[in-house]
Structure 1
Amino acid sequence: MSISDDKKLETLNDHYKDTFAQIRDYISLRDKLLIWILLVAAVMLFEVFSPSEAGLAIAQFASEKVGLNGALINTSFIGSVIWFLMLVLTMKYFQTVGLIEKHYDYIEKVEDAIRKNYDGATGIFSREGRHYLENYPLFSDWSWLLYTIIFPILLVAVLLYKIYNEVFISGCSVIFYINLLIFICIVTSTILYLRMLHFKK
């Protein structure tokens, strides 16, 4: 049984709307992850510039919110937990941005398929794909630059400063090597993320 052109167009249109809804969800998740990453980075910098105050704040937080004895908390261990949290957040952030880019590439193909049903209507059904990829407004260009270049580089710079500082605090301890391994994982993920976005095949 053959499918009519109207039915095909209806199916494409529904698929287009579903794909766009997924993009909106991914964008919302990306923004939330970015906020969390910035908060964790701020905590890390707080540990660097005010280690004593940071230790007291962590102990107080653990005592009030988690119910642990602040005096028994190993701040170095908490520091490694924060490093691991940063790794998880950055991995999820990079994956989400990658999904957004892939969905925009895909939705342009869906727009092209829909547009073929409209003779001479070259500008129709190009709101999200073609305009996103080819006709960025200046502010969108700047936002894209922040998300895909400036933010990753600044993040690595902050983490590099943090791990460099830990050499003088923890020395060559087991905790330091764990944190160093996490740092290497984050840097590797960042490089692959930048390669994925800026060196597409």
Structure 2
Amino acid sequence: MSLSEEKVLDVILEHYKETNTLSKTAQKDRNKYFIYFCLAELILLFVIQFPDNFGRIFSGYFEYKIGIDISLDLKAIQSLIWVMSVYAQMHYYQRSVYIERLYPYISHLEHKLSSMGFEEVFSREGKAYASNYPFILTVIHFFYNMCIPFFAICLSIYFMYYEYLHGGYLFFDGVCCLFQVIVSLSYVWFMRKTL
């Protein structure tokens, strides 16, 4: 069955629009998970640096909101924050890799559309984006894709070292730490190709 050139063009145009929509949605999700990851890391840092203050704030919040005076196991709270951090970090990396993998595909669609008579019209994500690429964007790209993961690795190791010295659920939190390190190194390994 042969499709008319106009029908093929409509299908590719619709697919191009849908792919760009998926990319923009993934970018919003990536940004959201990055914020969640940073918040989880900051809370964990606060818990480790000021455990008594955190315990009072956490207990006070529950007493104020629910009216229940609870005693909490700070080690369990730390483990919960580890899980939240791992979850947010994993989804941040997942969305970032997805977005990076979409760029060549979008560029391919733009090239296909250009070859169908729309020369230079469809080049926003491909040819136009790559031409005269500002140095500041290269620096930002490097920061997000190399510096942030290595900073996350350093924080994870610091958190585990602190827990080793001061107590915590070492096995569970150690698994979370190891997972964060492995995921971060895998992410850096993949993203090195994009620099």
Q: Shared fold by TM > 0.5?
A: yes
Q: Which residue of the other structure, out of 172, 179, 194, is the alignment partner of 2:173?
A: 179
Which one-letter code corresponds to 2:51 in the other structure? Answer: P
Which one-letter code corresponds to 2:99 in the other structure? Answer: I
Match of 1:149 in 2: 146
Name the CA distance, whole Å, in 1 between partners of 2:130 and 2:42. 33
Judge which range, 43-52 or 88-97, deviates more.
43-52
Distance 1:68 1:160, change over 3 A: farther
Name the CA distance, whole Å, in 1 between partners of 2:85 and 2:130. 30
Match of 1:17 in 2: 17
> Does 2:165 correspond to 1:196?
no
Which one-letter code corresponds to 1:147 in the other structure? Answer: Y
Q: 1:140 offset after TM fit, Å?
A: 2.4
Judge which range, 82-91 or 5-14, deviates more.
5-14
Which one-letter code corresponds to 2:48 in the other structure? Answer: V
Distance 1:67 1:159, change over 3 A: farther
Name the CA distance, whole Å, in 2 between partners of 1:168 and 1:11. 61
Distance 1:186 1:4, change over 3 A: same
- The 3-state SS of whatever aligns with 1:151 is helix
| TM-score of the two chains, using structure 1 as the length reference | 0.88
Distance 1:55 1:94, change over 3 A: same
Which one-letter code corresponds to 1:194 in the other structure? Answer: V
- The 3-state SS of whatever aligns with 2:164 is helix
Name the CA distance, whole Å, in 1 between partners of 2:73 and 2:193. 43
Name the CA distance, whole Å, in 1 between partners of 2:154 and 2:65. 31
Match of 1:139 in 2: 136
Q: 1:90 offset after TM fit, Å?
A: 0.8
Name the CA distance, whole Å, in 1 between partners of 2:3 and 2:165. 70
Match of 1:104 in 2: 103
Residue correspondences, number: 194
Identity over aligned residues, as a percent?
Answer: 25
Which one-letter code corresponds to 1:6 in the other structure? Answer: E
Match of 1:31 in 2: 31
List per-residue Cα deviations over 1:57-94 (Å, max 9, x = no partner).
Answer: 222234444665322x1111111000011111111111
Q: 1:31 offset after TM fit, Å?
A: 0.7
Distance 1:113 1:94, change over 3 A: same
Alignment of 1:50-61 (within 5 A): 50-61=50-61
Judge which range, 62-71 or 95-104, deviates more.
62-71
Unaligned runs of 5+ in 1: none
Name the CA distance, whole Å, in 2 between partners of 1:99 and 1:111. 18
> Does 2:160 correspond to 1:163?
yes
Name the CA distance, whole Å, in 1 between partners of 2:187 and 2:96. 9
Match of 2:70 in 1: 70
Distance 1:131 1:59, change over 3 A: farther
Match of 1:84 in 2: 83
Name the CA distance, whole Å, in 1 between partners of 2:173 and 2:48. 14
Name the CA distance, whole Å, in 2 between partners of 1:68 and 1:156. 37
Q: 1:142 offset after TM fit, Å?
A: 2.6
Q: Is the 8 A contact 1:104 1:132 kept in 2?
A: no
Name the CA distance, whole Å, in 1 between partners of 2:66 and 2:143. 36
| TM-score of the two chains, using structure 2 as the length reference | 0.90
